[in-house]
Structure 1
Amino acid sequence: MTKPPQTLILYAHPTPHHSRANRRMAEAAAKVPNVKVHDLYELYPDFHIPVRREQALLQEADLVVFQHPIQWYSMPALLKQWVDSVFTPGWAYGPGGDALHGKDFWLVATLGGSERSYQAEGHNLMPFSAFLPAFQQTAQLCGMNWLPPHLLFGAHQVNQQTLAAYIETYRKRLANYPNWPELLAANSTTSLTGN
């Protein structure tokens, strides 16, 4: 019997009690079978990260999700510390560093700014895709498959209906992994080319 695909959500919200979206997202995700919500700020408030334990969790996962609010166009400080500590050379990348090869990487993030603010004429002067290269390159360096991000713009302002729909899409995607159109298309292309 084959093991069902496992998902590890690295949930990083510095002030979850003030969260309008992320806390509800994490609660919804935790109810999905074969999904582990790993709350970094709850587990490691002192920023002391047990590297081998975290690496063992990653090795069990097929889908690795970074779920967090965008802070200064990037990830919260503890998640950055976690990446710095856990994605070690010889394990995650570099010679012999193939522990994450072939795993899927999905960024699920909330943004305070509206989608309009991430335009050339907007407050942030460029689309949000301009801020993704560090995330994409992390996945690339570790041999992971970058999946299109699931983003909620204007998380502080969106109405309850929009927020509920975003959370439900997140829950459904987690429940249906790996049967996502982009993954099925990639797998069929790989099968056809023999790679």
Structure 2
Amino acid sequence: MKTLVIVTHPSLETSVINKRWVEELTKYPEKYTVHELHKVYPDGNIDAEREQQLIESHGNLVLQFPVYWFNCPPLLKKWLDDVLAYGWAYGSNGDKLRNRKAALAVSAGIKEEDYREEGKYRYTLEQLLTPFETTFRYCHADYRSFYAYYGTETEPGENEPGAENEPPANDLDKSAQKYVSFIDHL
């Protein structure tokens, strides 16, 4: 079955990293369904039943997003709250994510060395993404970790809100290819 990639980026058209990843994924429509939440729900009103049916019609599930304030964009949080409902994702009859491979793909504007316990922000990206892992485990999904592209920001606020530093094209292409390989090996 195909992998469903839920892309949540409020300005994908101006994105660098997430946009490139989406471009790479769309080269393989037989393997991936790219579902852009901001495009489908510009008003923020999520059709939970439609989303649940979309998940059920796919194999693996990947949530792709830029790290915002050491978390996910608000629309993805709303999606999680609305779609992963009692009786569907968890609870006595909630088994739709059971054993489904699930993973994250995140772009982090901050340098990798700052995401260390001894780094500037004192927490690893793995630690910051723990709520997602815990959510998937709570729903009995088979959480498979995350793929990350770290940025080059040196000071908070250096970038415009939502903007990503532009890496060299070669690095970006390698990242996109590694991302596809990550998904293929879930």
Q: What is the TM-score when the length of structure 1 is the normalising length? A: 0.84
Q: Give SS of 1:116's match.
A: helix
Which residue of structure 2 aligns with residue 88 of structure 1? 85
Which residue of structure 2 aligns with residue 166 of structure 1? 175
- Give the counterpart letter for 1:158 in structure 2: P
Match status 1:105 vs 2:114: no
Match status 1:10 vs 2:6: yes
What is the alpha-carbon distance in structure 1 between the residues aligned to residue 117 and residue 51 of structure 2?
39
Structure whose residues are more often helix by fraction: 1
Q: Give SS of 2:132's match.
A: helix
Which residue of structure 2 aligns with residue 21 of structure 1? 17
What is the alpha-carbon distance in structure 2 between the residues aligned to residue 109 and residue 152 of structure 1?
7
Task: Give 1:3-152 correspondences, 5 Å limit.
Answer: 5-32=1-28, 33-152=30-149
Which residue of structure 2 aligns with residue 187 of structure 1? none
1:32-87 deviation digits (Å, cap 9, x = unpaired): 12311000001101111111111000111211010110111111110110111111
What is the alpha-carbon distance in structure 2 between the residues aligned to residue 38 and residue 112 of structure 1?
23
> What is the RMSD of the two structures over their aligned residues, measured on CA atoms?
1.4
Q: CA deviation at 1:9?
A: 0.5
Do 2:102 and 2:136's aligned partners in 1 also have CA atoms closer than 8 Å? yes
What is the alpha-carbon distance in structure 2 between the residues aligned to residue 152 and residue 115 of structure 1?
9
Q: Give SS of 2:102's match.
A: strand
What is the alpha-carbon distance in structure 2 between the residues aligned to residue 125 and residue 173 of structure 1?
26
What is the identity percentage for the equivalent residue pairs of Structure 1 and Structure 2? 31
What is the alpha-carbon distance in structure 2 between the residues aligned to residue 79 and residue 49 of structure 1?
10
Flag as ranges the 4+ runs of structure 1 deviating above 3 A. Answer: none
Q: CA deviation at 1:108?
A: 0.4
1:98-141 deviation digits (Å, cap 9, x = unpaired): 01111110100000000111123322112212112101011101
What is the alpha-carbon distance in structure 1 between the residues aligned to residue 57 and residue 3 of structure 2?
8
Structure whose residues are more often strand by fraction: 2
Q: Give SS of 2:121's match.
A: coil
Q: What is the TM-score when the length of structure 2 is the normalising length? A: 0.88
> Which segments of 5 or more consecutive residues in structure 2 lack a partner in the other structure?
152-163
Q: CA deviation at 1:157?
A: 5.2
Do 1:101 and 1:144's aligned partners in 2 also have CA atoms closer than 8 Å? yes
> How many residues align structurally?
173
Q: CA deviation at 1:166?
A: 0.7
> Which segments of 5 or more consecutive residues in structure 1 lack a partner in the other structure?
184-195
Q: Give SS of 2:71's match.
A: coil
What is the alpha-carbon distance in structure 2 between the residues aligned to residue 76 and residue 13 of structure 1?
7
Do 2:147 and 2:182's aligned partners in 1 also have CA atoms closer than 8 Å? no
